Structure 1
């Protein structure tokens, strides 16, 4: 069974078309997708968490 896809923060920023600074402001307000921190300090976002976050954004806009 393959492990869930984990995206680099840079990949997420490209996909959601947002700057790193704007993402961190949104994260500080608790409005960003959930991040996982690796032992080396790098951040990852699971594909499932990003898709769920997108769904909540679409519901909020409607």
Structure 2
């Protein structure tokens, strides 16, 4: 399934973006638009990296 441009925009608005890693409500390291697969304590990313991670996450 392919996510539309509107779907990506909705996801970005709903999730919000954090460029520094943080622990979510259950303690999972998270970064960007709720990306968890490679997030680590102390990690920071650029907006461009956050956008790329989102596209990778929705492609999986």
Bucket of the pairwise TM-score, normalised by the shorter protein: 0.3 to 0.5
The structure in which a higher percent of residues are helix is 1
TM-score if structure 1 supplies the norm length?
0.37
Q: Which of the pair has the greater relative contact order for Cα pairs under 8 Å at 6+ separation?
A: 1
